Structure formats: C-alpha cells, structure tokens
Structure 1
Amino acid sequence: MSTQTATPTGRGASGARSSLFRLYLGRGIVAVAWALAFARAHDDVDAVAITLLVVYPLIDAGSSLIDYRATPEGSERRVTAFNGMLSTLAAIAVGIAGAGGEEPVLHVFGAWAVISGLAQLIVGLRRRGPELGKQWPTLISGGLSFLVGIFYNIQAVGDHPSLDVLSTYATGGGVFFIAQALLLGWKTRQLSARTV
C-alpha cells in the first residue's frame, strides 16, 4: 500500500490549482453565507437553528467528497475521505445534540473542530509544495480550528455557553478558504506569466 502523495507538475499542477481554486472559493463563500444566516437564527435553538447546525458539517462533507474525487491515491486522499466521513457523523451528532441546547451543541462542534482541524493540517502539509501555493491559509485555519475546538468544549461547561461563537468560527474558516483560493489564483497567474 503506497502512502506517497505525488507533487503535481506542469499541466497536472495547473489542473490541480484550478480545481482547488474553485473548491476553496466556493467553500469559503458558502461558509460566510452560512455564518450570516446563523447569526440571525440562533437566538433560540429551534428547528431553523438546528437545521443550519446540521447543514454546516454537511457543507464540509460535500467539499471533502469533491476534493476526494480530484485527489490521486495516497495518504492525502485517505485523510480527505476520513474528514468527509467525520463531517457526516458530526452533522448527525449535532442534529441530536440540538435538542439539548447550547452546551451539547458546543461539545459536538468542539470535538469536530479539533479532529477536522488536525485533518486539515495534515492535508495542508501534504499540499505544501510551491506548485500549490505553500498552503499557509489552510495550515493556519487548521491550527486555529484545533485550538478553537478545545475552547468550545471549555466554554460548554461554563456558566453561559453561547452559540454566538459558531458564526465567528464559520466566518473565519470561510475567509481562510477564500484567501487560499486567491493565493492559488495568484500562483497560477504568476506561473502563466513565466511561460509566456
């Protein structure tokens, strides 16, 4: 079983950058839109709020599926598949947790943020070659997700657990995805200019 992740070159690198650009940009825009919707809907953990809570991990699961299909065989692809399955389970768990209010929701989101943050770090490190723009936004976002997940679990057992932080989390993640897309777009233009 090979664990090697090939570094794309030439046309392969250009196609990989283009695919990741669309994925990251779309993922970022959807995350920011979700954050705006959730900011207006989470005062009560009602059916609308719970639906939005379930949708967010499903967005991540869908993105992971798209990424999985575009990624060559290797450890990077397996991590992407794991993250997709994890996000699907998180969607189910947060739907169940929503019936219990803010505290269990924060515990579920916190656990998901910790594990998915680690997965994002691993994928970012494996894509860190110059052909894919060094992946700094992805690495920073994964690290912050890990730390924020720990904070959510601490906050959940505090006196005043609040879901306000989830909109901030989604906004931050969306901004980092958009930044990574822009970095890939800049890298593509830079390399195209060199070949002209």
Structure 2
Amino acid sequence: MSSLRRIYLVRGLVALVWSGAFALLHTPLTGLVVALLVIYPLIDVVATLLDVRAGTPGRTLQVFNTVLSGLAAVGLGAAAAAGGVGPVLFVFGLWAIVSGLAQLVVALRRRSPELGRQWPLLIAGTLSVIAGGSYIPVALGDSPSLVALIMYTAAGGTFFVVQAGILAWKSRRAKVSLDR
C-alpha cells in the first residue's frame, strides 16, 4: 500500500505541475507545447508501469492502459504535426474516454478495506470519460482550443493526491489499531 500511495502522490503532483506549465504555454501550438502534450500520457505510462510492478490489483487492465497511453503520446505528436489544435484535442478526447473507462474498472477492482473505496479515482475516471466526450465535438468545431486540458489535468492530479492522502490516513489508522 505504501508504494501505491507514493505512486499516486507523485503522479498527482506531476500532473499538477504539468497543468501549471501548460496553462502558461498552451497557445500557440509551439514545439514546446507539443512536447508537453506528448509528455502527459507518458507520465501515465511511467506511473502505470510502477503500479503494475508493485503488484496491485487490476494489473492486466493497467498493462492495457500503458499501451493505450503510449499510443496516445504518439497520436498526439502526429496530430499536432498533421493538423494542429483540432486533431490534438480529438486524440486527447479519445484517450481520455478509454483511459477513464480503464481507470474506473481498476478503481472498482481495488475497492477494499486496505485500499479504501477509491472514490477519488472513481470520480476522476468518470470525469475523464465525460471530459473526453466533450472534447470531440469541440475538436470538430470551428475554433477548437486546448484550454480545457488545463482543468482536466489539474483535476486528475488533485484526485490522485487526494487518493494518496486517503491511503496515508488508512495506513496510520491501521497502525494505531495494531499498536493498541
């Protein structure tokens, strides 16, 4: 549980830092912005691989999510090179939908007394599906914008930090119970 707590905390904090950097740089679609866009799903790849290595429940789906996030990184780079903001938002939206569904299933499988009810991650997965679905029509519209990704990544980071806090609280509570 302590390794999962660290993974969630670092993953959440990195997402929050990424969100802040992206907020400052998101327009125009420069090489640095494209690099940030490609890096974001790679953050998910690294965190998910560490999660799989820790042996926590939901590993098969986590491996799927790793491959999906790797493909998203490639797709975001290709979309930026080929067509700009609209295609980037479209690819990000598709990735958000599928990875959100995967996160929901993993969170449901991890619900246990030791790992908690996983409410922050269930909410984050649900919001990822909803947000991704909302990006698709915007991407196909007349004036697509990447500004929505700032809130998306900040919220996701916050939910991971909250889940890490819940795991830390549960761990302390269990230790206190054992010490009695």
Give TM class, smaller chain: over 0.9
Of the three residues 96, 110, 119, the one matched with 2:102 is 119
Are residues 1:138 and 2:121 paired? yes
TM-score by length of 1: 0.89
Query: RMSD in angstroms over aligned alpha carbons?
Result: 1.0
Of the three residues 76, 79, 88, the one matched with 1:97 is 79
Q: Kindly state the Cα deviation for residue 159 of structure 1 after the two structures are TM-superposed.
A: 2.5
Residue matched to 2:19? 35
Say which SS state the counterpart of residue 45 (structure 1) adopts: coil
Residue matched to 2:29? 45
Are residues 1:181 and 2:164 paired? yes
Are residues 1:154 and 2:151 paired? no
Of the three residues 41, 50, 53, the one matched with 1:69 is 53
Residue matched to 1:84? 66
1:25-82 residue CA offsets vs partner (Å, 9 max, x unmatched): 000000000001111111111100000000000000111110111125x7x1110000
1:119-143 residue CA offsets vs partner (Å, 9 max, x unmatched): 0001000000111011110111001
One-letter amino acid of the structure 1 residue matched with residue 165 of structure 2: L
Are residues 1:169 and 2:155 paired? no
In 2, distance between residues paired with 1:71 and 1:144?
26
Residue matched to 1:13? none
1:91-120 residue CA offsets vs partner (Å, 9 max, x unmatched): 000001112111000100000000000000
Q: Kindly state the Cα deviation for residue 175 of structure 1 after the two structures are TM-superposed.
A: 0.2
Say which SS state the counterpart of residue 130 (structure 1) adopts: coil
TM-score by length of 2: 0.96
Q: Kindly state the Cα deviation for residue 87 of structure 1 after the two structures are TM-superposed.
A: 0.3
In 1, distance between residues paired with 2:80 and 2:29?
7
In 1, distance between residues paired with 2:131 and 2:104?
14
Aligned 1:15-30 pairs, distance under 5 A? 17-30=1-14
Say which SS state the counterpart of residue 43 (structure 1) adopts: coil
One-letter amino acid of the structure 2 residue matched with residue 41 of structure 1: L
Residue matched to 1:14? none
Q: How many residues are treated as equivalent by the alignment? A: 178
Say which SS state the counterpart of residue 44 (structure 1) adopts: coil
In 2, distance between residues paired with 1:27 and 1:152?
23
What are the ranges of 5 or more consecutive residues in structure 2 without an aligned counterpart?
none
Say which SS state the counterpart of residue 117 (structure 2) adopts: helix
Residue matched to 1:10? none
